[in-house]
Amino acid sequence: MKQKKAMNRIISFILTTLGITYSLSAQVTYDLNHCITTGLEKNFSILIARNNQIIADQNFTPGNAGLLPSIDVSGRYGGTINTTNQTYYAGGDSSLNNIHNTTATAAVAFDWTLFQGFNAITTYKKLSELKMVGELNTQMTIEDFVAGMTTEYYYFVQQLQLDHNLAYAVSLSRERVRIDRERYLLGGASKLQLLQSMVYLNSDSSRYARQKEVLKGSQIRINRLMAVDDLGQNIIPADSIIIIHQGLVFDSLLASTMQLNTGLQIARKNQKISDYDYKIVTSRSYPYLNLTSGYSLNYYDYGSGTYKKQDIGGYNYGLTLGMNVFDGFNRRREIANARIARENLEIEYRQIEQQVNADLLNIFYAYQNNLLLLKLEEQNLKTADENLEIALERYKLGSLSGLELREVQQSRLEAEERLISVQYQTKVAEISLMQISGKVLEYLQ
């Protein structure tokens, strides 16, 4: 009897410990919208993407494109100390020692390329496209984050459902131990049957404990995506079930994908940038026209000679018209390479478009198939619940063996696990369809 009481205390301690493990530290209730908005403010990948976008925005200026002139200001002060020895044809010599001459100059130079085969205008348009690519890259990073956070959030909900399912399995095993103990004490069951029930209880409890580790890992990933300081904080999701949008239509998704898919939009922008690169290279075949102007002031202080001091100041201006006639066939080579690069980007766009369409088809098929499986597993779970209820009554009456009850119990446990798994897989397919069609931000509401 003492051993039985000790065993009871151990089992009770295990179950109590498992029940409070998850609630030891402070818990925070978060819905999906809060997780996403927090991550949008703090997630490191998004912060980096936004900084890169700022760089692209700041590069989009007329000056960076070469549309504006340049003005340089310079000044210099210097001097020389010389010794001069001279011999004249008429006879006689002269010698001057330590002659100190000083010079000071100041100048302003103005340089403006008025025309260079539309190079500057084309470069400005290219910078505009690069600016929009920066925005699209930020958008893609945000979409990836929203999809990742939504997937992880519902994974956590799934794991909580599995946790509850395992808790139910432990409660069933505990009830079976209670029944077998009472039978053993009354002489209606063997000790072997009681010990076997305890083994099942320990097995279910062990699996239940491992599930806590899975939950904690998902919590940490959610906290990391939100970039919070306390990665170990406990989270309670506002959702207890996985809600699935079952009304997605392929034709609507396809039309949205062709228009809104961020990868396709970036590929189209890259095509435009390649066109501008080609025009920039061909602009070297045109003549160029430069305008230069400036003002300079020079001051001289002589240690010897005809003048003691001299100031010279004045303006200068000029137009330079020129054209590169021959550069070793480099321009022709660069134009040919630019043309091939443009063709490659056209091919790459078609490749990306085909891949996107293939992904859309595959994911939509999985989505439809999972919806069918979802109905099947819901029916299976109802049947398993009913079967378990009947089996428990029969076991209490002694008309069902322990092994048969365990099989029914496992069947019910597996039925709910399959249902939970199909629900999550269907949700993942839904999230992927929303992302590929450019609608994933609809989860942020």
Give the whole-angstrom CA distance, residue 373 versus residue 246.
Answer: 13
Q: pLDDT of 367-422, one tens digit each?
A: 999 999 999 999 999 999 999 999 988 988 888 888 888 899 899 999 999 999 99
Give the whole-angstrom CA distance, residue 387 versus residue 377.
Answer: 15
Mean of the per-residue pLDDT values for the chain?
Answer: 89
Q: Which residue from 280, 251, 228 is spatially nearest to 26, judged by alpha carbons?
A: 228
Q: Which residue from 323, 358, 374 is spatially nearest to 432, judged by alpha carbons?
A: 358
Q: Is the pLDDT of residue 25 over 70?
A: no
Task: Write down the pLDDT at residue 96.
Answer: 76
Domain boundary assignment for the chain: 7-443
Classify the phi-psi angles of 230: left when phi > 0, otherwise alpha if psi is within -120 to 50, otherwise beta. beta
Give the whole-angstrom CA distance, residue 407 versus residue 286.
Answer: 85
Task: Write down the pLDDT at residue 98.
Answer: 82
Q: Pairing relation of β-strands 288-301 and 93-116?
A: antiparallel
Name the H helices within 187-261. 191-226, 250-260
Reported as type and span, the H/E element at residue 351 is: helix 330-397
Per-residue pLDDT band for 26 (boundaries 50, 70, 90) equals: low
Neighbours of 262 (CB within 10 A): 20
Identify residue 164 by its one-letter amino acid code: H
Task: Write down the pLDDT at residue 3.
Answer: 43
| DSSP code at position 314 | E
Task: Write down the pLDDT at residue 401.
Answer: 84
Q: pLDDT of 132-182, one tens digit each?
A: 999 999 999 999 999 999 999 999 999 999 999 999 999 988 988 998 898
pLDDT, mean of residues 299-305: 77
209-244 in b/e form (b: 16+ CB < 10 A) is eebeeebeebbebbbebbbbeeeebbbebeeeebeb
Give the whole-angstrom CA distance, residue 284 versus residue 112.
Answer: 17
Asked if residues 105 and 301 have their Cβ atoms less than 8 Å apart, the reply is no
CATH topology of domain 7-443: Outer membrane efflux proteins (OEP) (1.20.1600)
Q: pLDDT of 51-75, one tens digit each?
A: 999 999 999 999 999 999 999 999 9
